[in-house]
């Protein structure tokens, strides 16, 4: 029961982006959209289409083709955007995404920088809303997109989505400085970004969103994080269950070390409670009272997981009812990630080996 109550503290203050935050059309601000893209031919067109429908028109859209081996550049060339082509792997000491973001910044002229992952999609009001909120709050403003799913195997990201959101500590009492930002959508002023060294200052950090967020708040600038809701979404790892495993496994164990201690303790307590609930089933089957208690606790966790996961993605009550499956997959992936990052010191993603 204590572990279940811990879940209320961890997820009880989830904040979702809403169109009502839109106060004006962003007039007077020169906005640069910077999109790092490596082998994103299946996604980049959807993002660029959504950008073309924005009520707030950006000054420029810059797509950085990070030495892709697919048709990313060809798709981008069909849109009225600036294409920056990187035709070799990053220099020594650089991680690919940070290198692409940095080159996008160097090619930009806007006084507001918006970094977007290539699989993100925006509602027509999204750009104006996030730019206005960044101006209101200052520093670095980031959004975790709503996870839009089309296939059942994509639901295996359920636990990871919950933990990513919880790990920043923005949505629980007692945490002031988040350890980072949400990488898929980050907004900041050009002056802040350049004065802090931007992605060059964190060029070797595998978790660029964690690194950039820490750079901001360590220099006295606020970091604000929220959820995308109906305004900002993405479809993660649509290439099958293997892609889900590799995608989350490439840096998840390493990310655990970046979670604030209080948040990490509470998350471990909550996850332990979930595991202990369904591990009690063999014992509970032999005792009527214990079995009834097991059913009550099981349903309590299912309801809790459903109420929070539906704010993060298109997860249903059916997904919540089979939560043991997702937690077992999470546990397996965490071990896989730990072996890859701690023993082999290397992961592979989008055709590129990354030293961690």
pTM confidence score: 0.88
Above 60 in pLDDT, residue 254? no
Decide which of 154 and 174 is more confident.
154
Q: Which residues contact 324 (CB under 8 A, 6 or more apart)?
A: 278
In this structure, what are the phi and psi dihedrals at residue 148, rounded to the nearest 5 degrees? Answer: -90, 125
> What's the rounded mean pLDDT across residues 259-282?
72
pLDDT band at 137 (very low <50, low <70, confident <90, very high): very high
Q: Would the pLDDT of 256 be above 60?
A: no
277: pLDDT strictly greater than 90: no
Res. 105: pLDDT tops 90? yes
**Is 25 in a helix, a strand, or coil?**
coil
CB 73 within 8 A of CB 98: no
Q: Tens digit of pLDDT for each residue in 166-206?
A: 887 666 655 556 778 999 999 999 999 999 999 999 998 88
Percent of the chain at pLDDT > 90 equals 57
Average pLDDT, whole number, for the chain?
Answer: 85
Check residue 223 and give its pLDDT: 93
d(CA 146, CA 313): 5
Please state, in angstroms and rounded to a whole number, the distance separating the CA atoms of residues 150 and 118: 18
The C-alpha atoms of residue 295 and residue 164 are separated, in whole angstroms, by 28
Residue, of 21 and 95, whose pLDDT is higher: 95
- pLDDT tens per residue, range 67-82: 999 999 999 999 999 9
Q: What is the pLDDT of residue 257?
A: 54
């Amino acid at each position: 029961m204590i572990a279940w109550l811990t879940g209320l503290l961890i997820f009880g203050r989830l904040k979702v982006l809403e169109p009502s935050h839109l106060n004006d059309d962003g007039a007077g601000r020169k906005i640069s959209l910077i999109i790092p893209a490596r082998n994103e031919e299946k996604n980049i067109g959807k993002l660029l289409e959504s950008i073309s429908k924005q009520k707030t028109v950006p000054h420029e859209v810059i797509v950085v083709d990070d030495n892709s081996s697919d048709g990313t550049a060809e798709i981008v060339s069909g849109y009225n955007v600036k294409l920056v082509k990187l035709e070799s792997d990053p220099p020594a000491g650089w991680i690919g995404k940070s290198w692409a973001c940095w080159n996008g910044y160097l090619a930009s002229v806007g006084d507001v920088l918006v970094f977007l992952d290539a699989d993100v999609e925006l509602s027509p009001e999204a750009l104006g809303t996030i730019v206005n909120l960044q101006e209101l709050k200052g520093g670095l403003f980031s959004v975790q997109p709503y996870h839009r799913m089309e296939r059942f195997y994509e639901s295996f990201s359920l636990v990871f989505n919950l933990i990513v959101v919880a790990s920043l500590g923005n949505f629980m009492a007692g945490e002031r400085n988040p350890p980072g930002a949400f990488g898929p959508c980050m907004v900041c002023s050009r002056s802040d970004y350049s004065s802090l060294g931007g992605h060059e200052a964190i060029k070797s950090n595998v978790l660029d969103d964690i690194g950039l967020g820490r750079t901001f708040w360590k220099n006295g600038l606020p970091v604000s994080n929220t959820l995308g809701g109906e305004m900002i979404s993405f479809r993660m790892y649509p290439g099958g269950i293997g892609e889900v495993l590799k995608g989350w496994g490439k840096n998840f164990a390493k990310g655990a070390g970046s979670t604030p201690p209080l948040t990490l303790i509470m998350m471990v307590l909550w996850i332990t409670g979930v595991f202990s609930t369904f591990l009690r089933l063999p014992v509970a089957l032999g005792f009527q009272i214990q079995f009834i208690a097991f059913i009550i606790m099981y349903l309590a966790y299912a309801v809790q997981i459903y109420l929070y996961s539906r704010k993060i993605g298109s997860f249903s009550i059916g997904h919540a009812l089979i939560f043991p499956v997702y937690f077992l997959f999470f546990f397996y992936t965490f071990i896989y990630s730990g072996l890859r990052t701690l023993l082999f010191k290397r992961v592979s993603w989008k055709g590129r080996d990354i030293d961690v």
